[in-house]
Amino acid sequence: MDNPPHLSASHRAANLEEAKIQLEESKIVGQAIHAATAKILENLILAPDGSKFEVWSCELAEKGGIHLNNREFFTQRNAKLVLKKTGKAIFLSLVHDFLKSDVHRAETCFNMYKLMFKKFKSISRAAQLDVFYRFNDFKNSGDVMSAKVASSLKDLATKWKNLKIELTTEIFMGFILQSSLGRDTPLGREFDRRVELKD
């Protein structure tokens, strides 16, 4: 059965009004995205290996403050749909192409940031301790100046650096405490298990 003419007309008017609102919203979002992403400097883009993470995080905060009225927009949950679209565009413009597939399916800007943080800033305590043990167990059976010894130490130092270990007093004391428990004792294994659960 056909709707009465006055209902059809009012329904069409409502649809037209909704379409106009959506077009206006799309226009505003498009302009905001263009303004936020038009002049992205290459040295501010997060590299595939995560280098310049701190610089990149600062730039995200800066963009959030200017274009989304919130410097913590990417590091906090946010439910505003219009801002989410702009935020995602900003985020994707500030990561290297190789990283985009890692975050494309994330529902929110906060989740996108969390994925990058986990990828580049979360560190396994067990992996750190393993390198510490290797340094601690290092023995030189031959010539102190030999190239092999230097190479072995450089390899350990590179692993240390790749794990992003900042050797503060607290971290050093933590390594000493954990290694003093013994690797194969029940207490040492329980400590390792709790650390892994925390990671």
Write down the domain spans for the chain.
Answer: 5-120, 125-198
Three-state SS string across 124-190, please? Answer: CHHHHHHHHHHHHHCCCCCCCCCHHHHHHHHHHHHHHHHCCCCCCHHHHHHHHHHHHCCCCCHHHHH
d(CA 46, CA 57): 9
At 49, which helix (H) or strand (E)? none
Per the listing, tokens 């990561």 go with 95
**The tokens of 186 are what?**
């029940």
d(CA 55, CA 71): 14
pLDDT of residue 185: 65
pLDDT of residue 5: 55
Three-state SS string across 60-114, please? Answer: HHHHHHHHCCCCCCCCCCCCCHHHHHHHHHHHHHCECHHHHHHHCCCCCHHHHHH
d(CA 176, CA 163): 18
CA distances from 12 to 5, 24, 156 (A): 10, 18, 71
Q: For the chain of 199 residues, list the mean pLDDT of each consecutive stretch of 10.
A: 60 73 71 78 87 89 90 85 85 91 89 88 71 77 69 80 74 77 64 51
Count other Cβ atoms within 10 Å, centred on residue 93: 16
